[in-house]
Amino acid sequence: INKKPMKEQRDILDNTIQEWMGAVEQIDDILVLGLRI
């Protein structure tokens, strides 16, 4: 996803995490860091 705009990358990651978690409540912190140079 590195070739996509930052906003689209965020959306993809959000959707992927939500699909992976399913109906399970989040119990740990998640940190995603993005840099644009």
Give residue-wise pLDDT tens across range 1-37.
999 999 999 999 999 999 999 999 888 999 999 888 8
pTM here is 0.73
3-state secondary structure 1-37: CCCCCHHHHHHHHHHHHHHHHCCCCCCCCCCCCCCCC
User: Exposure of 9 by Cβ count < 10 A (0-12 exposed, 13-18 middle, 19+ buried)?
Assistant: middle
pLDDT of residue 20: 92
pLDDT at 6: 93
